[in-house]
Structure 1
Amino acid sequence: MSTGPGAHSAPAPKTPDDDTRTTALTRPKGGTFSSLRVRNYRLFATGQVVSNTGTWMQRIAQDWLVLSITGSSAAVGITTALQFLPMLLLGLYGGVIADRYPKRRLLLFTQAAMAVTGLALAALTLSGHVQVWHVYLIAFALGLVTVVDNPVRQAFVAEMVGPDDLRNAVSLNSANFQSARLVGPAVAGVLITAVGSGWAFLLNGLSFAAPIAALLLMRTAELHKAERAPRGKGQLREGLRYVAGRPDLFWPIVLVGFIGTFGFNFPIWLTAFVNDVFHAGAGTYGLLNTLMAAGSLVGALLAARRGTSRLRVLVGAAVAFGLLEITAALSPQFWVFAALLVPIGMVGLTVNVTANSSLQLATDPAMRGRVMSLFMMVFMGGTPLGAPLVGYVTDVYGARTGFLAGGAVSLLAALTVGFVLARVGGLRLKVDLRRGRTHVAFVPRRPVPRENQENTVTVAA
Structure 2
Amino acid sequence: MIFRVLKLKDFRNYFIADIVSGFGVGMSTIGANWYLMDKTGSISAVGLMLSLNVIAGFLISTFAGTFIDKWNRKTIILWANIVRAAALLLILGGFLWTGFRVEYVYAFAILNGMGWALYITASRSLLQEMLPENELIHGNSLIEISLQVGMFSAGALSGVLYKYVGFETILLLNAIAFIASSLFLGKIRFTPVHAENREESYLHNFKDGIRYLADRPFLFLLGVISIIPLVSTMIFNVVLPGYVSRAVNGDSVVFGLSDMFYGVGGLISGFIAAPLARKLSQNGTIVLLFAVAVLNLAAVSFNKTIVLLYIGSVLIGLTNSSLRVLMTTALMESVSKSYMGRATSVWMAISLLLQTFAATGLGTLIDAYTPGAGFICMSGLMFVGLVLYFALNSRRADKVTLEA
Above 0.5 in TM-score?
yes
Q: Which of 89, 96, 111 matches 2:59? A: 89
Given residue 403 of structure 2, which amino acid in structure 1 is its aligned partner? P
Given residue 310 of structure 1, which amino acid in structure 2 is its aligned partner? Q
1:106 aligns with 2:79: no
After TM superposition, list the pairs within 5 Å mapping 1:230-249 onto structure 2.
230=198, 231-232=200-201, 233-249=203-219
Aligned residues: 400
Q: Secondary structure at the match of 1:379?
A: helix
Measure the CA separation in 1 of the matches of 2:188 and 2:385: 42
**1:292 touches 1:344 (CA, 8 Å); kept in 2?**
yes
Q: Secondary structure at the match of 1:164?
A: helix
Q: What do the CA deviations read for 1:158-195 (whole angstroms, capped 9, x no partner)?
A: 23323332221122111101011221111111111112
After TM superposition, list the pairs within 5 Å mapping 1:62-81 onto structure 2.
62-81=32-51
Q: Which of 303, 314, 329 matches 1:342? A: 314
Structure-2 residue corresponding to 1:18: none
Q: Secondary structure at the match of 1:280?
A: coil
Structure-1 residue corresponding to 2:122: 152
Structure-1 residue corresponding to 2:376: 404
**1:323 touches 1:411 (CA, 8 Å); kept in 2?**
no
Given residue 204 of structure 1, which amino acid in structure 2 is its aligned partner? N
1:360 aligns with 2:351: no
With over 3 angstroms needed to count, the CA separation of the structure-2 counterparts of 1:215 and 1:338, relative to structure 1, is: closer
Q: Which has the larger radius of gyration?
A: 1
Q: TM-score, normalised by structure 2?
A: 0.92
**1:243 touches 1:371 (CA, 8 Å); kept in 2?**
yes
Measure the CA separation in 1 of the matches of 2:303 and 2:163: 28
1:164 aligns with 2:134: yes
Given residue 355 of structure 1, which amino acid in structure 2 is its aligned partner? M
With over 3 angstroms needed to count, the CA separation of the structure-2 counterparts of 1:206 and 1:449, relative to structure 1, is: closer
Where structure 2 has 5 or more consecutive residues not aligned to the other structure, the ranges are none
Q: Which of 216, 229, 232 matches 2:197? A: 229
Q: How many angstroms does 1:127 deviate by?
A: 4.0
Q: Which of 391, 397, 402 matches 1:425? A: 397
Structure-2 residue corresponding to 1:15: none
1:415 aligns with 2:369: no
Structure-2 residue corresponding to 1:286: 256
Measure the CA separation in 1 of the matches of 2:364 and 2:70: 40
Structure-2 residue corresponding to 1:275: 245
Given residue 120 of structure 2, which amino acid in structure 1 is its aligned partner? N
Q: How many angstroms does 1:236 deviate by?
A: 2.6
Measure the CA separation in 2 of the matches of 1:449 and 1:270: 48
Q: Secondary structure at the match of 2:133?
A: coil
Q: How many angstroms does 1:267 deviate by?
A: 1.8
Structure-1 residue corresponding to 2:168: 198
Q: Which of 295, 299, 312 matches 2:265? A: 295
After TM superposition, list the pairs within 5 Å mapping 1:114-193 onto structure 2.
114-193=84-163
> Structure 1 residues 387-396 or 47-56, which shifts more?
47-56
**2:141 touches 2:271 (CA, 8 Å); kept in 1?**
yes
Given residue 268 of structure 2, which amino acid in structure 1 is its aligned partner? V
Structure-1 residue corresponding to 2:6: 36
Measure the CA separation in 2 of the matches of 1:149 and 1:425: 35
**1:79 touches 1:136 (CA, 8 Å); kept in 2?**
yes
After TM superposition, list the pairs within 5 Å mapping 1:249-264 onto structure 2.
249-261=219-231, 264=234
Structure-2 residue corresponding to 1:449: 403
Measure the CA separation in 2 of the matches of 1:40 and 1:261: 31
With over 3 angstroms needed to count, the CA separation of the structure-2 counterparts of 1:228 and 1:397, relative to structure 1, is: farther
Q: How many angstroms does 1:241 deviate by?
A: 2.8
Q: Secondary structure at the match of 2:99?
A: coil
With over 3 angstroms needed to count, the CA separation of the structure-2 counterparts of 1:311 and 1:42, relative to structure 1, is: same
Measure the CA separation in 1 of the matches of 2:231 and 2:149: 24
**1:259 touches 1:379 (CA, 8 Å); kept in 2?**
no
With over 3 angstroms needed to count, the CA separation of the structure-2 counterparts of 1:47 and 1:449, relative to structure 1, is: closer
Q: Secondary structure at the match of 1:426?
A: helix
**1:303 touches 1:354 (CA, 8 Å); kept in 2?**
yes
With over 3 angstroms needed to count, the CA separation of the structure-2 counterparts of 1:326 and 1:274, relative to structure 1, is: same
With over 3 angstroms needed to count, the CA separation of the structure-2 counterparts of 1:248 and 1:182, relative to structure 1, is: same
**1:45 touches 1:173 (CA, 8 Å); kept in 2?**
yes
Measure the CA separation in 1 of the matches of 2:232 and 2:15: 30
1:382 aligns with 2:354: yes
Structure-2 residue corresponding to 1:25: none
Measure the CA separation in 1 of the matches of 2:5 and 2:192: 14
Structure-2 residue corresponding to 1:437: none
> Structure 1 residues 305-314 or 85-94, which shifts more?
305-314
Q: Percent identity?
A: 21
Q: How many angstroms does 1:258 deviate by?
A: 4.3
**1:92 touches 1:373 (CA, 8 Å); kept in 2?**
yes
Q: Alpha carbon RMSD of aligned pairs, Å?
A: 2.2
Measure the CA separation in 2 of the matches of 1:394 and 1:84: 19
Q: TM-score, normalised by structure 1?
A: 0.81
